[in-house]
Amino acid sequence: MSGPDEIRPEESAQDPAQDPAPAVPPTPAEPGPPTAPAGPGPAAQDHPAPESGPAGDWQGLHPLSVWAGAVAAGFFMVPSAVIATVAIALFAPLPWWALAPIPGTIAFLAFFTSIDLLRLRATRFRVTSERVEMRSGVIAKAYRSIPRERVRSVDVNAPIYVRVFGLCSVTVGTGEQGGSDQLQLLYVTAEQGERLRRELLLRGVARGAAAAGADASAEGSEEIGETGEVELARLNRAWFAYAPATTATLGIGVGFIAAVVGFNAQTGGWAWEWVSEQANLPTTEELASMVMTRLMVVVPVSLLVLLLSGVVVLTAVAVETWWNYRLTREADGSVRLRRGLLTSVSLSVEGRRLNGVTLHQPFVLRSVGGADVRAVATGLAAADDEKTSAKSRLSPPMPTGRARALAAALLQEDDSPLDAPLARHPRAALRRRFTRAGVVTLLGVAASIALAWLHTLATQAWWDAVHRIEEEIIPVPLASRAVETTPSWGWAFLAVLVAVVAFWYAVGSYRGLGHGVHPRFLVVRSGMAARDTVALERSAVIGWRITRSPFQRRMALADVAATTAAGQGMYAARDVGLGQGLAWADAAVPDLLAPFLVREDEGGGGDGRETPDAV
């Protein structure tokens, strides 16, 4: 059987954001290392540091950055040293060792503070009309340079331990994968950070576009500020109610219980026995018997406690992450995100790099009518997909209607592309998902039969051994006793549960499929556990990828994916009819796929209409 076939049209339409910047030779006024010609390689390059830097506009990091790091380290290390001193003085056989922790901690902090002072003296940076440059290194000196045309984002962060000193970090990114192209300044003053952000993102083209956009009237929540910025969204504290709407809510409580169980298992059950003796608790057998007799009360109460613990933790995390949230469009056309309670974050994305948005709706959040908005932009790539996804988030969870309005405001469209009608995928896509659900159901049935068979073979001696093992691991051993009292035919409920969940998931996954075309954007939707509706600028599409597995070929289906330099790099309409998907691609970006299409007349009457039929 042959593998999936892939057809990749030559990506001849290049994204202007990816064009390499021309090489800029140093002027006589600014002697420095020669600039390598920009090409397809990384935007930021490390070179040996020049012998002597140009005089004039080189700047250093703020001196207080060293003391900010020392205070942050001391905040955690000094209390630990005090606790160690008390513990050694009370319990150690040689109490004079109690004199070691505090002086040792002070010496350690002094040593690393001196290293930081050397780093501070060796680090210099400057911003010219063409490049952002930085020299660093105490022993191995390096010179790093980023062409300003390659700058895609400027991230200004201020953790609380540097914010009290009026400092912030500035991260300049070019959006290349892996994050090695970034240039980071640790730390400069807040005023310097704001000035660098504005200076690096300012473009003549962006200013003209912003001026044209500023003339248009702002509707809904958009308000024009005194500085010419347009407010797109501001925090509504009622949105924190959506924070616990995630599958992690129950998982946090379960994780805490797993940590307690793991610690008890590491001690061989000694930890629980010691706690029971000190608190005069019932024995494990008495606790297990009490729980089993009140099972209908214990199970709901336990679930409620787990849920409440998850709600408290997730709400606290949301408050810390999204406090003071504000999303604006600056006068230069860039989109700026500000948020954070303990760690203040300011992320700016140049307006012309924002090629679309994603309406993200995980299942639990979707069930309560919530969603969040994410950017499809160049310049937000990080070291891995999880960090990239977190960096692209432009809003906290909010009501779906408000999220759609925010997406329309970001795209500067009166009629939101996310509201465009989407075409349904063929019924063959549903049959394909039913087939997968059937396979999962058969596996569930096989597992249930195997467990029921093992249940009938288990002897009392075997159960006694299982109980002893469980008592050493779990403070309140219930699992093995519950399984022992379950009749063999009870395992059939497991098979039924697996079947119901599998077919329910298959139907939901099919209903989530859709694709469409807006005058400026192509729209694609997919997902059940996490449903994403993506609106991508048609001009940002640089190629198409059509993939067909052997099973898809039998059903005349295909995955048609638009490739782009922004966001995840590829957005696919999955399990779409072959002709339907090719027609969508041809309508979204005319002539890009045309050389690879075979067209057939429709209607048989020679009415002149043509649609793509095959590749």
Across-strand partners of 599? 612
Among 469, 495, 521, identify where a domain stops.
495
Which residues span the domain enclosing 448?
427-495
Residue 280 lies in a domain: no
CB burial class (10 A; 0-12, 13-18, 19+) of residue 158? Answer: buried
pLDDT digits (tens, 9 = 90+) for 500-544: 999 999 999 999 999 999 999 999 999 999 999 999 999 999 999
Residue 85 lies in a domain: yes
pLDDT band at 20 (very low <50, low <70, confident <90, very high): very low
In terms of average pLDDT, the best of 230-244, 291-305, 468-482 is 230-244
pLDDT digits (tens, 9 = 90+) for 157-202: 999 889 989 999 999 887 665 555 788 998 999 999 989 988 887 6
Shared domain for 104 and 148, answered yes or no, is yes
Shared domain for 476 and 551, answered yes or no, is no
Distance CA 437, CA 364 (A): 21
Among 495, 523, 544, identify where a domain stops.
495
Q: How many CB atoms lie within 10 A of CB 88?
A: 18
Among 186, 205, 224, identify where a domain stops.
205
Whose structure tokens read 């075309």? 517
Distance CA 125, CA 44 (A): 14
561 — alpha (psi -120 to 50), left (phi > 0) or beta? beta
pLDDT at 8: 43
Residue 363 lies in a domain: yes
Residues 6+ apart with CB under 8 A from 329: 210, 213, 229, 230, 232, 335, 336, 351
Residue 23 lies in a domain: no
556 — alpha (psi -120 to 50), left (phi > 0) or beta? left
Residue 158 lies in a domain: yes
Residue 185 lies in a domain: yes
Shared domain for 172 and 103, answered yes or no, is yes
CA 175 to chain centre: 15
CA 407 to chain centre: 18
pLDDT band at 383 (very low <50, low <70, confident <90, very high): low
Residue 441 lies in a domain: yes
Answer whether 531's CB lies under 8 Å from 574's CB. no
pLDDT digits (tens, 9 = 90+) for 71-90: 888 988 998 889 888 888 87
Whose structure tokens read 């925090």? 235
Shared domain for 199 and 139, answered yes or no, is yes
Looking at per-residue confidence, does 91 or 335 come out higher?
335
Answer whether 47's CB lies under 8 Å from 143's CB. yes
- 3-state SS record for 391-440: HCECCCCEEHHHHHHHHHHHHCCCCCHHHCCCECCCHHHHHHHHHHHHHH
Distances (CA, A) of 233 to 211, 219, 373, 391: 20, 12, 11, 17
Shared domain for 452 and 392, answered yes or no, is no
* DSSP secondary structure string for all residues of 16-69: GGGSPPPP-PPPTTS--SPPPPP-SS-SSEEEEPPSSPPSSS-EE--THHHHHH
pLDDT digits (tens, 9 = 90+) for 407-451: 999 999 888 899 999 999 999 999 999 999 999 999 999 999 998
Q: Which of 117-121, 460-464, 547-551 is least confident? A: 460-464
Looking at per-residue confidence, does 51 or 525 come out higher?
525
Shared domain for 126 and 201, answered yes or no, is yes
Give the total number of structural domains in the chain.
Answer: 3
Residue 274 lies in a domain: no
Shared domain for 435 and 411, answered yes or no, is no
> What is residue 159's three-state secondary structure?
coil
pLDDT at 490: 83
Q: Among 608, 576, 578, 609, which Cα is nearest to 596's?
A: 578
Shared domain for 446 and 588, answered yes or no, is no
Distance CA 581, CA 462 (A): 58
Shared domain for 66 and 170, answered yes or no, is yes
Q: Among 79, 472, 402, which Cα is nearest to 261's?
A: 472
Shared domain for 404 and 435, answered yes or no, is no
Q: Among 8, 1, 3, which Cα is nearest to 546's?
A: 8
* Proportion of the chain above pLDDT 90, given as a percent: 44
Distance CA 170, CA 156 (A): 5
Q: Which of 94-108, 228-242, 333-347, 531-545 is least confident? A: 94-108
Distance CA 523, CA 419 (A): 9
CATH number at residue 178: 2.30.29
Shared domain for 68 and 172, answered yes or no, is yes
Helix axis angle, 248-266 relative to 295-322, nearest 10°? 110
- C-alpha torsion sign, points 256, 262, 265, 267: negative
| Gap between the terminal Cα atoms of the chain | 21
Shared domain for 522 and 393, answered yes or no, is yes
Q: What is the token pair recorded at 110?
A: 């002094």
pLDDT at 204: 40
pLDDT at 466: 79
